[in-house]
Amino acid sequence: MNAPLKIAIAGLGTVGGGVVKALTARGEALSGRAGRKLEIVAACDRDESKKSGLDARVWVNDLHAIAQSAADVVVELIGGENGAAPSLVEESLKAGKHVVTANKAMMARHGVRLAVLAEEKNLALKFEAAVAGGIPIVKSLRESLFVYGVSAIRGILNGTCNYILTQMEATGRSFEEVLKDAQRLGYAEADPTLDVGGGDTAHKLALLTGLAFGVKPDLDGMAVQGIAHITPEDISFAREFGYRIKLLGIAKITPQGLDLRVQPAMVNAGTPLADVDGVFNGIVADTKQAGPYFFEGRGAGEAPTANAVIADIVDIARGNRGPAFGVPAASLLTLTAAPAGSASSPFYLRFQVLDVPGVLAEIAGHLAKWRVSIESMIQRGRAPGEAVSIVMITHETTHAAVAGALETIAASDKVVAPPCMIPMEAK
C-alpha cells in the first residue's frame, strides 16, 4: 500500500466528530477503498473538550497550525462565509495541501477564487458535503451529467424548511408553531433566518448552478424568498388543486438568460420531488436528451455529511484532483441572468378580502389590465362585511405581470392582507 494520506481537521462539531469516528471505526475498510492508510495527524476546535476523543499528539491549538501541519489534506468544517474559514483554506492551499470542505456559504462567495488557487497549485478543492450532504449531487454534476448538458435544476435543498412544510400539511398548524417544534427537535437553529428565509438554499443553488452550467456562482443575482408567509390555508388549497408546496431552488436556461431563484412553489402531487418529506432533500437535474435524474437523501446530519467528506478524502487519496467546478475556474462564465420578473408559469393567488359586492369584479379587472388570465377560482361561504379568502389559479404568465397586478390590488380598501402569490412548477 502507498504512503499514508495525512489528514488535518479543523472543526470537531457534529460533522467533524462524525468524520473522526468513521475514520477510527472503519479505518481499515476505508484505507482499502483509498488504496492507502488514512491517518489523522492534526485536529483543532474552539472547544478544547473536543480533544478528549483524540490521540493527544494530534491536537493543535490554532488554525495556522492546521495549515502548516504535516497533513496532505486539510478538512475545513468550521463554517462561516468570511473570516477564519476562507483564510484557513487559502493558507492551506498556499502551503501545498488539498482541501475538503462542507462550507456552502464560503464556496458560494469565494469558491471561484479558491478554485483558481487550487488549480495553480495542482491541488484538489472538494465540497461534496456542502450541498445536500447525503446526496452525491456535486460529484454527479461534475463527473457524470455533462455529456448533453444540463437545462434545469430544481431542488429541495433545506431540510428545515421541508420539515416545517411537511408538518404544516400533516397537522394543520401554523408556520410559527411548527418552527418551535423544529427548534426543539434540533432541526432548526435558535436563529432560523438563514434556513426559513431561503439563504441556505441560495448558497447551495449557487454551487449547483456553477457545476451544472459552467458559470460563476452568483448570490447577488438570485431572487430569494422564504416560507414564513405560507399558511395552513395555502397548503390546504394546494392539496385541493393537486399540488404540494415546497421551498425550491430553481436554476434553468431560458431564452432570456439563466433563471435563478429560491421560492416556495407548488409541485404536482405524486411526482418524485413532491413526495420528498421531512428533513430529506431532493433534486431533479434535467439533462436534455439523457432525460431527468432524480436524487433524494438526507441533507444534513452527522453520518450523511461525514460520508460525503470522507468520500472526497478517498477521491484525493486515489489521485482524483479535477477542477472544483468540473471545468477550469478561469473558464467559468459570468452569469447572464434572465431579467427580473421574466420567469413564467401558472400562479396560485390568494386574496383576503371583505365580503362585499364588487370585490371579485375589482380583482378580476386589475388582473385583466396586466393580461393575467384566470383558469380556476374558489370562494367558499358568505360572511357579509367580514374577511374571506378568494383563491385563483392563473394561466401561464410572467412573475412581473402578476406582481404588478397584485401591487395594485393590495392598495384596495377591500383587501385586508397582502395577497399571496406562489408559482406552480410543472415538474
State the catalytic residues.
Answer: 204
Whether 94 maps to a domain, the answer reads yes
Q: Specify the number of domains making up the chain.
A: 3
Whether 12 maps to a domain, the answer reads yes
Q: Are residues 267 and 230 in the same domain?
A: yes
Q: Are residues 168 and 29 in the same domain?
A: no
Cβ atoms of residues 322 and 384 within 8 Å: no
**Residue-level pLDDT, tens digit, the chain, 427 residues:** 589 999 999 999 999 999 999 999 998 999 999 999 999 999 999 988 888 778 888 999 999 999 999 999 999 999 999 999 999 999 999 999 999 999 999 999 999 999 999 999 999 999 999 999 889 999 999 999 999 999 999 999 999 999 999 999 999 999 999 999 999 988 888 899 999 999 999 999 999 999 999 999 989 889 999 999 999 999 999 999 999 999 999 999 988 889 999 999 999 999 999 999 999 999 999 999 998 999 999 988 899 999 999 999 999 999 998 999 999 999 999 878 888 888 899 999 999 999 888 999 999 999 999 999 999 999 876 777 778 999 999 999 999 999 999 999 999 999 999 999 999 986 5
Whether 337 maps to a domain, the answer reads no
Q: Which three-class secondary structure string do you get for 115-138?
A: HHHHHHCCCCEECHHHCCCCCCHH
Q: Are residues 127 and 158 in the same domain?
A: no
Q: Are residues 82 and 180 in the same domain?
A: no
Residue 125's CATH number: 3.40.50.720
Whether 366 maps to a domain, the answer reads yes
Q: Are residues 172 and 105 in the same domain?
A: no
State the pLDDT at residue 1. 56
Q: Are residues 75 and 196 in the same domain?
A: no
The model's pTM: 0.94
Q: Are residues 83 and 112 in the same domain?
A: yes
Cβ atoms of residues 297 and 134 within 8 Å: yes
Q: Are residues 72 and 164 in the same domain?
A: no
Q: Are residues 180 and 43 in the same domain?
A: no
Cβ atoms of residues 411 and 346 within 8 Å: no
The SS3 call for residue 97 is coil
State the pLDDT at residue 24. 92
Q: By residue range, what is the domain housing residue 85?
A: 2-134+303-323
Cβ atoms of residues 162 and 278 within 8 Å: yes
Whether 163 maps to a domain, the answer reads yes
Angle between helical axes of 302-317 and 14-25 (0-180°, round to 10) = 60
Whether 338 maps to a domain, the answer reads no
Q: Are residues 17 and 60 in the same domain?
A: yes
Rounded Cα–Cα distance for residues 246 and 265 (Å): 6
Q: Are residues 36 and 148 in the same domain?
A: no
State the pLDDT at residue 427. 55
Read off the C-alpha cell for 262. Answer: 429560491
Q: Are residues 350 and 375 in the same domain?
A: yes
- DSSP structure class, residue 398: E
Q: Which residues of 40-74 are buried (b: 16+ CB within 10 A; e: fewer)?
A: bbbbbbeeeebbeebeeebbbeebeebbbbebbbb
Residue 392's CATH number: 3.30.70.260
Whether 336 maps to a domain, the answer reads no
> End of a domain among 265, 298, 331?
298
The pairing of beta strand 73-76 with beta strand 98-101: parallel
